[in-house]
Amino acid sequence: MYVYLVLPVVLLLLLVYYVYSIQMSTRNMPPGPFVVPFGLGSIPEVWLRRPIFKFWQVRPWEYLAMLSKTYGDLIGFNVLGFDAIAITSYELMTEVANMEEYSIKFAHELYTYPRTFGKEMGLIFAASPPLWTEMRKFTVRTLREFGFGKVYTMHSVIIAEVNLLADDFKKKIKSDYGVVKFRNTFSLTVLNVLWCMVAGIRYEHDDPRLLKLMGHVFNMSKSVTFGNPLELILPVTKKIAPWLHKANLRNKVFDSCHELSKTLIEERKAEGYYLSEPQNYMDVFLKKIHEHRDQKDTIYTEQQLQSMVADLLMVGSLTLNATLNYGILFLTLNPEIQKKCQDEIDAIVPRNIAPTVDDVEKMPYFQAFMLETHRCANVVPNPVPRMVPKDWHLRGYVIPKNTVILSNHYSVNTDEKIWGDPLVFRPGRFINEKGEFVPDPRVVIFGFGK
């Protein structure tokens, strides 16, 4: 009896697969793992290739690096019904960086809801010009003005933070039998410096307002699902079963962050200095809102400013905090490297004086140590995916419109052909025979593209 039921189903599935495979084989996508229908895409081959017992532990960037050994530096695949390509070499990343086809982000509503009021706003997931390009230009320029990349402007804030941090270490060493746990050690320091640039405010480390701000950042990073597959495959579940997507939690987290930025915006507006003497990122943004007040479709709105505050808090603090933690880890694991850094610092700055940015310029080994930390830490192994805006002819393949593009920074930072011994932490690779620091652009930290 069951045979009568099972047989037609199997035949139907085979027919669907046959039609699907004919359709896939006529396309001229780059080589990659085989694609099966029913939304499974390339998952079966990826699963078959898993290192034994490690399916859940291996991270996507490690998989892509593994696949590039078989398929090369341009891999075509399919996930959950989305066509995708991965770019895994430095050469190809620089080749596509300024191409029009690589200039749009994949801003699925999955990312934008509810962090940016359910609309395409903010910067991280702003998909296309003019919002993305204009906002990035404005933000980078304004942050530079208030100290980002210009350590002089922020010097006193940074020194005050470093002193607090050193006191904190001393206290911890005394109270915890010499053991310092580093997991969140830099969070308050990093957040205070960042918040100073964004909102012009610096708190004491035990100030409840700073602890609340840190709570916001922590919750935002926890609540942003960068890919709940169910939300992609069946968006309707968001409406009928929001609890599956932690929608309420996400709403709460972003609502409270937006509430905080709204209060600050009102305070800055009431003070009124933003027009004559803007003091920080928020002030400059408010001035822009004022200047564009008569334009109907302006991107300078208060909601956009609130979205930017949330974005900057996240991108700035999580990345920096993680990088510093990795720096400490590499120093701990490599005492001889730690000693070399310390000797170099001691030779230039007396122990009771804080170093300046000019001093760092005189420390080639320390600079090499920082670059090697970026390379090995791989804090952002995959930046936000991009999306092909029109059919793309690349290296003889045709990549269809709407294909998702993943740049795998991890592959470049661990490429044996470039580094020889990529898994060894060796700052010396950036020091030349004269003892000078020679930065290598092939350490991919911040990404490529327009």
Nearer to ligand HEM, 40 or 201 (CB): 201
Structure tokens belonging to residue 293: 């007040």
Helix (H) or strand (E) holding 85: strand 82-87
Structure tokens belonging to residue 87: 């770019």
Contacts of 188 (CB under 8 A, 6+ apart): 205, 210, 214
Q: How far is the CB of 40 from ligand HEM (least distance, A)?
A: 28
Q: How far is the CB of 122 from ligand HEM (least distance, A)?
A: 9
CB 425 within 8 Å of CB 337: yes
Neighbours of 275 (CB within 10 A): 12
CB 106 within 8 Å of CB 384: yes
Q: How far is the CB of 406 from ligand HEM (least distance, A)?
A: 11
Neighbours of 100 (CB within 10 A): 11
The label of the residue with tokens 């086809």 reads 101
Cis peptide before 130 (omega within 30 of 0): yes
Contacts of 184 (CB under 8 A, 6+ apart): 321
Q: How far is the CB of 320 from ligand HEM (least distance, A)?
A: 5
Q: How far is the CB of 447 from ligand HEM (least distance, A)?
A: 3
Q: What's the alpha-carbon Rg for the chain, to the nearest Å? A: 25
Nearer to ligand HEM, 143 or 158 (CB): 143
Q: How far is the CB of 349 from ligand HEM (least distance, A)?
A: 23
Q: How far is the CB of 190 from ligand HEM (least distance, A)?
A: 8
Nearer to ligand HEM, 247 or 315 (CB): 315
Contacts of 69 (CB under 8 A, 6+ apart): none
Residue nearest to ligand HEM (CB): 316
Nearer to ligand HEM, 148 or 300 (CB): 148
CA distances from 242 to 76, 85, 108, 221, 450 (A): 33, 31, 18, 19, 36
Nearer to ligand HEM, 42 or 112 (CB): 112
Q: How far is the CB of 321 from ligand HEM (least distance, A)?
A: 9
Instruction: Using CB under 6 A, list all residues that contact ligand HEM.
Output: 123-124, 136, 139-140, 143, 148, 194, 312, 315-316, 319-320, 323, 379-380, 383-384, 445-447
Q: State the Cα–Cα distance between residues 182 and 190, nearest whole angstrom.
A: 14
Closest to 258 measured CA to CA, from 117, 124, 132: 117
User: Which residue type, as a one-letter code, is found at position 274?
Assistant: Y
Nearer to ligand HEM, 256 or 319 (CB): 319
Q: How far is the CB of 311 from ligand HEM (least distance, A)?
A: 8
Q: State the Cα–Cα distance between residues 376 and 407, nearest whole angstrom.
A: 17
Query: Phi/psi class of residue 421: alpha, beta or left (left: φ > 0; alpha: ψ in -120 to 50)?
Result: beta
Nearer to ligand HEM, 42 or 408 (CB): 408
CB 48 within 8 Å of CB 40: no
